[in-house]
Amino acid sequence: MDINSLFSVKDKVVVITGGGSGIGLMISTAFVKNGAKVYITSRKAKVLETAAAELTKMGPGQCIALPCDLQNLDKTLELAQTIGRRSPTIPDKAWTKLLTLNVQRVFSGGPQADSPARIINIGSVDGLRVPALITPAYAASKAAVHHLTRVLAANLGGKHVTANAIAPGPFQSHMMAATLKNAQDAIVSRIPMGRIGRPEDMGAMCVFLASHGGSYINGTVIPVDGGAIIANQTYAHL
């Protein structure tokens, strides 16, 4: 029950899609700084190589860039096979099940026999509420990620794999840059914590879900939003 045993991710093998920028980079940083072996993947090879070099320099973990177009099934299967060869402690079936999905994916698993492999999907608070901006396709896709997570949890639990999703609120990222530049004060005013998310907020949640201490959590969608959803619900009833 000591904290190092409960929450250590040292020597775990982690695959992070979009891991070279934005929220993905926040997650990559948290795992590398805590001793994990991290594979980051996306279509942006140069971004990945730069991020991997910087993260490995930070240590104590290692970061490896594996560029891949995850919308291409054949390329995705090649990626799964490459990682499977490099990390034989992870069942190929688990990698394939995850990496062939056409949504944003995060997979983290460890070599411990008593610790399940983990799927951590990144959804959005806009998949839990009607967003302020008119973005129906984005909101619907994130709601689908949340429900897909529940389906995976129900079907993979017996195969020693957990599946959970994180629903971030506003974080500083390339996608959010323009919105925050134009409306950060208004956005922050609706968040009870009075700020947007920080890298450590996202990193800590992913490390927790991937650690031994998170091994009995399965099928959840966890908002990391400073209370924004609850505040919006409260205001709506006033």
How far apart are the C-alpha atoms of 211 and 215, rounded to whole Å? 7
Q: What is the pLDDT of residue 115?
A: 82
When pLDDT is cut at 50, 70 and 90, the band that residue 89 belongs to is: low
Residue 99 reports pLDDT greater than 80: no
Q: Which helix (H) or strand (E) holds 63?
A: strand 62-65
Strands 13-17 and 37-41: parallel
Question: Which amino acid does the sequence have at 222?
Answer: I
Of the residues 39, 138, 216, 235, only one is catalytic, namely: 138
Q: Which of 50, 22, 25, 23 is nearest to 38 (CA)?
A: 25
- Give the pLDDT score at 101: 41
Give all domains of the chain, ordered by start, each with its CATH number.
3-224 (3.40.50.720)
User: What is the model's pLDDT at position 114?
Assistant: 67
Binned at pLDDT 50, 70 and 90, residue 3 comes out as confident
C-alpha neighbours within 13 Å on the C-beta side of residue 16: 34
CA distance 23 to 20: 9
Q: Please tell me which residue, 95 or 30, carries the higher pLDDT value.
A: 30
pLDDT, average across residues 29-57: 95
pTM: 0.80
Burial class of residue 229, CB neighbours in 10 A (0-12, 13-18, 19+)? middle
Asked if residues 96 and 77 have their Cβ atoms less than 8 Å apart, the reply is yes
Q: Is 138 a catalytic residue?
A: yes
